[in-house]
Chain A
Amino acid sequence: MKPRRVLAIARKEYLQIRRDPRSLGMAIAMPMLLLVLFGYALTLDVDRVPVVIWDQSESPASRELISRFAGSRYFSLKGYVRNYREVERGIDSGRTLMALVVPRDFAGQVGSGRPAAVQLIVDGSDSNTATIAIGYAEGVVQTYSREITLRATQGLGGRPLNPPVEMRPRVWFNADMESKNYIIPGLIPVIMMVIAALLTSLTIAREWERGTMEQLISTPVKGPELIFGKLVPYFVIGMFDVLLAVLMGEFVFHVPLRGSLLLLFVMAAIFLVGALSMGMVISIVAKNQLLANQLAMILTFVPAFILSGLVYAISVMPWPIRLVTYLVPARYFVALLKGIYLKGVGLNVLAGEAALLLVFAAAMVALANFQFRKKLG
């Protein structure tokens, strides 16, 4: 491989990219846009659950329970209703997700120390959110009932009663359990995978379509010289995108970065080489810009988004799907970035993922070189 030829190809690509500001703008703006879009929309937090109240009791006791819901940041009071039909209408129209029904005899039961029941009606169409919301409601009600018991025993002159077993959860690594803290590091690989593959998916197909490839293959240029030369400028753009994404994580989303920034960029570089080469393979095989573009989109976005562990945890997937995820390179980079961002761990822990990422990059580079033919037809 002659460095001069690689450089000549790289320089030519650079000139072409520079003269096509629209594509360059896309390459820079698209990752930013996707990050903002997904960063805000893809929040998996359940809070401010809309709730309506049917207070049949209308007593100080019921009002106190209701005020606990109103005071919680997990709930947002959407008003009062007077019958089940209104509850149904609220849930049907999506105005509310759940309804709390306090029975007529609530105050009496509580006052006389007998168990009182409150009814919770929940919209189960989004079962995940519903389960979480029920958990929150249980928490609120339990805290409230414990206080009543406490007050009752104190009123009787007994010593303060403690529950026999108490669970004290401590969340590590993302103490506030804010989903953006793992969504953003997870999004970077997905977005970079798509952008990188799209960037290179056109580069070889365009030369075939415009007829410039026929001229180029009549010269002594070698396949690897052509492929590496073409990778260089897109690699620079890709790394710039990674830098922008990391800066946005820091200054827009305030995601704490606990691990090594250097490790992050080294891993990003390996990942990019793989993803760019994959785009190149697609471009070589498709020989047609439109087809290459669509293939790149489908082959990268869907697997990276669904099977990388970003949205759905890989450990809970059925085993055949879990096997498939090993073929999704974004999976390793998601694991690496989550480790670096949230846990602040280094290569001693992440060596396996890093090695597999390297295998992916090497395989794609090899495949691109293997697939490229300096012949027509």
Chain B
Amino acid sequence: MAAIRMAGLTKSFGDLRAIDGLTLDVEEGEIFALVGPDGAGKTTTMRLLAAILDPTSGDAWVAGHHIVKEAEAAKEDIGYMSQRFGLYTDLTVIENIEFYADIYGVPRRGRQEKINRLLAFSNLTPFKQRLAGNLSGGMKQKLGLACALIHTPKVLFLDEPTNGVDPSSRRDFWRILYQLLRERVTIFVSTAYLDEAERANRIGLMDHGKLLAVGTPEEVKRLMRGTILEIRTAEARRATAVLRATLPPGSVSLFGDRVHVVTEDVQGAGDRVREALAGSGIETSELRPIEPTLEDVFVSVLGSSAAATSRT
């Protein structure tokens, strides 16, 4: 049985269809990453699956419980971490954890060991007595995770857990998620960071409330039509403008100091790029075909109109 099953899940807010007919199975024990730009419908999906928002139509089951008809039973088996920090900033780390332990009815026996293990596992032991409001962004997220895990949920929903968290804390966070997988916890995570999504077992590309592609990161990358030419130059911004004027629309995108050109014909496109840049007096330090990243796939799948969410 799938840990999460969605069948035509739809949610409208007035005229806006935030989620439009999602159908998807997430298997037990996998990390599934929902990737998409802001406003794609990731948070709404999370809230529907966490049974704190009712869908307009369609169905979904989490750990075998229907999210509307058996919402309260579902809540026993899930851990949810909202995008916005949802713990009490005026309580200490340990008070927050103990509060959620009581709310979830964690048995007294073995509870202390469990709390200690969660604290150690999230490196929060030295900060036990600190008010949650005084923690750094990364530590707050780890505390949120500890509270969401206190009752050993079967399915964990994490809504953009690493948003605004520094890179080393993000690595820590993912290390913890991988440890959880060994305990057969199903993790459903949303992110706007594409490099992060590559660490998931499977990903779903989402935009405008619809799933555009689902598969392993490799499968999704294979959806990419053509090859990527990467150009490194000191004047990346100007180079992008020049290339956009000469190459087919939607084929040129800027990633920091690099310009990516999507093409079916590597040789011909390479020549045209060199010619155009030389004509504008732009020096290129490097020009080579590369493996597509999820960002490229994203740009390609969403089309040139939607800006890919990039970390830079």
Residues of A within 8 A of B (CB): 2, 4-5, 7-9, 11-12, 15-16, 19-20, 210-212, 214-222, 374-377
Least CB distance from B208 to A in Å reads 20
Contact flag A5-B103 (CB < 8 Å), given A214-B82, A220-B76: yes
Given contacts A20-B90, A215-B80, A218-B75, contact A375 B52 (CB under 8 A): yes
- Residue pair A218, B78 in contact (C-beta under 8 Å): yes
A15, B95: Cβ atoms closer than 8 Å: yes
Q: A218-B50, A219-B75, A376-B53 are in contact. Are A2 and B90 (CB under 8 A)?
A: no
24 contacts between A and B (CB under 8 A): A4-B102, A7-B102, A11-B102, A12-B88, A15-B95, A16-B91, A211-B85, A211-B86, A212-B86, A212-B87, A215-B82, A215-B147, A216-B103, A217-B52, A218-B78, A218-B80, A219-B103, A220-B75, A220-B76, A374-B71, A375-B52, A376-B47, A376-B52, A376-B53
Contacts of A19 in B (CB 8 A): 90
Closest to A211 in B: B84
Tally of contact residues, B, Cβ under 8 A: 32
> Judging by beta carbons under 8 Å apart, are B47 and A215 in contact?
no
Closest chain-B Cβ to A303's Cβ sits at a distance in Å of: 34
A8 to B75, CA, bound (A): 18
Taking the nearest CB of chain A, how far is it from the CB of B103, in angstroms?
A: 5
**Residue pair B90, A4 in contact (C-beta under 8 Å):** no
- B104 within 8 A of partner (CB): yes
Further 18 A-B residue pairs, CB within 8 A, beyond A214-B82, A215-B80, A220-B104: A2-B105, A5-B102, A12-B88, A16-B88, A16-B90, A210-B89, A212-B86, A215-B82, A216-B86, A218-B75, A218-B78, A219-B104, A220-B75, A220-B76, A221-B103, A374-B71, A376-B53, A377-B53
CB distance from A373 to the nearest CB of B (A): 10
B65 CB → nearest A CB, Å: 11
Pick the most buried of B13, B72, B87, B102: most chain A CB atoms within 10 A of its CB: B102
Closest 3 CB pairs of A and B: A215-B86, A8-B102, A218-B80
Is the CB–CB distance between A374 and B52 below 8 Å? yes
Give every chain A residue within 8 A of B52 (Cβ-Cβ).
214, 217-218, 374-376
Please measure, in the bound complex, the distance between the C-alpha atom of A214 and the C-alpha atom of B44, giving whole angstroms.
Answer: 12
- List residues of chain B with CB within 8 A of the CB of A376: 47, 52-53
A180 to B115, CA, bound (A): 58
Collect the chain A residues with CB atoms within 8 Å of residue B47's CB. 214, 376
Count, A-B residue pairs, CB within 8 A: 77
Q: Which B residues touch A210, using CB under 8 A?
A: 89
Q: B interface vs A, CB < 8 Å?
A: 13, 47, 50-54, 71-72, 75-76, 78, 80-82, 84-91, 95, 99-100, 102-105, 144, 147
Q: How far is the CA of A338 from the CA of B144 in the complex (A)?
A: 53
Question: A17 to nearest B CB, angstroms?
Answer: 10
State the CA gap A214–B102 with chains docked (Å): 17
Chain A contacts for B100, CB-based, 8 A: 219
In the complex, the chain B residue whose C-beta lies closest to that of A16 is B90
B82 contact set on A, CB distance < 8 A = 211, 214-215, 218
The chain A residue sitting closest to B88, CB to CB, is A212
What is the CB-to-nearest-CB distance from A9 to chain B, in angstroms, rounded to a whole number? 8
Closest to A12 in B: B99
**Contact status A8-B87, CB under 8 Å:** no
CA distance A159 to B147 in the complex (A): 98
Task: Name the residue in B52, B75, B76, B104 with the highest tally of chain A Cβ atoms < 10 Å from its Cβ.
Answer: B52
Shortest distance from the beta carbon of B4 to any chain A beta carbon, whole Å: 15
| Given A5-B102, A12-B91, A214-B52; A220-B72 close (CB under 8 Å) | yes
Q: How far is the CA of A281 from the CA of B49 in the complex (A)?
A: 28
Neighbouring B residues of A212 by C-beta, 8 Å: 86-88
Inter-subunit contact B99/A8 (CB<8 Å): yes
- Give chain B nearest CB distance to A372 CB in angstroms: 13
For the complex, give the distance between the alpha carbons of A377 and B13 in Å. 10
Q: How far is the CB of A6 from chain B (nearest CB, A)?
A: 10
CB of A64 to closest CB in B, whole Å: 73
- Cα distance A24–B89 when bound, in Å? 18
Residues of B within 8 A of A211 (CB): 82, 84-86
Beta-carbon contact of A214 and B105 below 8 Å? no
Kindly list chain B residues whose C-beta atoms are within 8 Å of the C-beta of A222: 72
B48 nearest CB across to chain A (Å): 10
Residues of A within 8 A of B85 (CB): 211
Residue of B nearest to A19 (CB): B90
A215 (CB) vs chain B CBs: closest residue: B86
| A12–B94 alpha-carbon span in the complex (Å) | 12
Hey, which chain B residues are within 8 Å of A216, CB to CB?
A: 86, 103
- Chain B residues whose C-beta falls within 8 Å of the C-beta of A5 in the assembled complex: 102-103, 105
Residues of B within 8 A of A214 (CB): 47, 52, 82, 84, 86
CA distance A335 to B81 in the complex (A): 51
A11 to B98, CA, bound (A): 11
Inside 8 A of B81's CB, which chain A residues have their CB? 215
- Contact: A215 with B90, CB < 8 Å? no
Cα(A8)–Cα(B95), bound, Å? 10
Q: B89: which A residues are within 8 A, CB to CB? A: 210
Docked Cα-Cα span, A216 to B100, in Å, equals: 9
Bound state CA distance, A375 and B103, in angstroms? 17
A218 to B75 alpha-carbon distance, docked (Å): 6
User: In whole angstroms, what is the CA distance A217 to B80 when docked?
Assistant: 10
A215–B86 alpha-carbon span in the complex (Å)? 5
Distance to closest chain B CB from A127 (angstroms)? 54
